[in-house]
Structure 1
Amino acid sequence: MRATLYRQTLFAAGVVFLVVGCIGMVVPMMPGTVFLILAAWCFTRSSPRIEAWLLNHRYLGPSVRRWRETGAIPLVAKGFALTSFVGSFSGAWYFGAPQPVLIALGVLFALLTVFIVTRPN
């Protein structure tokens, strides 16, 4: 029972990450690849069929496969991601997001920045 709930939760999270990743692939200032990698991780543990679909997808799959093979993030993608973090945080601040949201975004973006910067190119 617990294993089923765990798989269903991971599958739901994978779907959410997949949708956000797809949106991020076309919307400026929103990183898509990070969310696609998270979706693939969730699908690895919940739905191998959907994972295979994602990895073999013409547009979504290459960046996830590249990540799995090398663990590297291209320098251009790093710059774009870091710029996106600054833009997203600035937009949230400009449009008056509540302070707890700004703090959560700041912590999340700081952690992601450390992770991204420490990956090989």
Structure 2
Amino acid sequence: MPRQNRVLARPVRALLWLAGTISLALGLVGVVLPGLPTTPFVLLAAACYAKASPRLHAWLLNHRLTGPMLRDWEAHRSLTRRTKTVAVVSMLLMVSLSIWSFRGRLVLQLVLLALGAIGAWVVLRIPTRRL
């Protein structure tokens, strides 16, 4: 590899690693924060790690929680209707519960509603496939 490419490759890999780590963190936060989707962030983290850190990519692929979803994504580049339904319904339930718990705080309720709508939109834009 020419010297110029090696110099550029290291900063690019570092940025991809950083983007993957931030995406994975957002995905983990999305598990407990209503309206923040988990799946797209985990998929983005895996894509970044595939280029930046084969070791972390392999770890995600073999992890008991993220592995099946990522292997399925890499094989088909789509989600099943059931997966999308579970994601959107769980977001709807959690956003509704959060909006109810913040009753009387209209601004927070509107922010939660907007985040939930964005999260559902992201999930619904992912291609759907049949089993």
TM-score (norm: length of structure 2): 0.64
Aligned length: 118
The residue number in structure 1 matching 2:80 is: 74
TM alignment of 1:100-119, pairs within 5 A? 112=122, 115-116=125-126, 118-119=127-128
Percent same amino acid among aligned pairs? 37
Question: Any unmatched runs of 5+ in structure 2?
Answer: 1-6, 97-101
Q: Give the direction of change, closer, same or farther, for the CA distance of 1:6–1:73 in structure 2 (3 Å limit).
A: same
Structure of greater relative contact order (alpha carbons < 8 Å, 6+ residues apart): 2
Q: Give the direction of change, closer, same or farther, for the CA distance of 1:24–1:46 in structure 2 (3 Å limit).
A: same
Letter in 1 for 2:41: F
Runs of 4+ in 1 over 3 A off after TM superposition: 80-90, 104-111
Letter in 1 for 2:128: R
Question: Any unmatched runs of 5+ in structure 1?
Answer: none
Letter in 2 for 1:120: R
Q: Give the direction of change, closer, same or farther, for the CA distance of 1:72–1:2 in structure 2 (3 Å limit).
A: same
Q: Match for 1:62 among 43, 61, 68? A: 68
2:65 and 2:81 map into 1 onto residues whose CA distance is 20
2:117 and 2:65 map into 1 onto residues whose CA distance is 30
2:69 and 2:92 map into 1 onto residues whose CA distance is 22
Q: Give the direction of change, closer, same or farther, for the CA distance of 1:55–1:113 in structure 2 (3 Å limit).
A: closer
Q: Do residues 7 (structure 1) and 13 (structure 2) align?
A: yes
After superposition, the CA RMSD in angstroms is 3.3
1:76 and 1:114 map into 2 onto residues whose CA distance is 12
Residue deviations 1:46-102 (CA, integer Å, cap 9, x gap): 000110111111112111111111223122321244456768998xxxx887xxx9x
Larger radius of gyration: 2
Q: Do residues 120 (structure 1) and 129 (structure 2) align?
A: yes
Letter in 1 for 2:129: P
